[in-house]
Structure 1
């Protein structure tokens, strides 16, 4: 997928200033930046949940700028937003059944065994980390060709977060993540799985594009790069 000269406005404010970035097939692409950098807006522009004021969205070389989010989903794109990513009034089992094309969600429970005892509970009663596990497991079950996730490990324990990034890196799909900081499991060279590409955004512009191993490391206070 690709954004080309993409601009997005929220009323009088422009959130993306004509950015161009690519998310190659078979890679994990990380849109990196602090709050307000434009990383989430760029992800939503790819997903079709925000409209461009100028520029274009390409998928496999075809212009899909005018395609709705529903049309993009029907064509094999799965988007996991940072909030309200599960059906809160439905049980965990029902959420998983909806995501599994064949009704078999065993893979999700193998990926996240923590969900097994929660199957009868309503998703809205889960903790933040448990809801993220459920949201990501739904993406894993979707078999989508493009998987877009905003902060996949938010609220997760460190060992569950590490497992989550390994699962996403192992998908046979174009995976695009929005993150404040580059997770260690995606920075490591030779860690297995897909190659990792990073686009760092700052104030609606791309300030760095390259491999994860080239990304500047956070400062001593744990601040985001840049």
Structure 2
């Protein structure tokens, strides 16, 4: 009987030890995941706002865009997601203060009701930290994807037409000017040649040597 009791006690202690180790490891992972989630929401929400603004600037104006309400909705939910993340830090500070007060009353003052005490701050912090900010970010991402995918094809077609129009206009002007300039330079630059060959001119008669004659006569 003693051996069975000792084995049962050892098994219980081992299970408790493994549970506490597993609990501590999961608590660390939970805290790390929560921190990474908050950082990701802040980073990607800002990137989503920049992406949507850059799309309007470089591709299509808001007045020509279709389903503009989706863009405005994405801006609202991206901003809401970032605000909720910031608010979660404020709520967490308040909840930690309340938990410290409950721990003091439960452990030091032996107030058993403080163990299960829950306030409005606890419920609000749980909702904001666990799903509200992530849900706002997901909705904003859906709206942004819908808006960009709907207007991206029209933006590409408009840009292609503009490039084709500019290219044809430039090529036509250069071609006409080049041909006209070449013909004009050929007509005015080449000298006209005579049909009949030009006859050589007759040599001029030599002048009489008057000086030499007078000398010989004398």
TM-score of the pair, normalised by structure 2: 0.19
TM-score of the pair, normalised by structure 1: 0.19
| Structure with more strand by fraction | 1
Q: Could you say which structure has the larger radius of gyration? A: 2
| Structure with more helix by fraction | 2
* Greater relative contact order (Cα < 8 A, sep 6+): 1
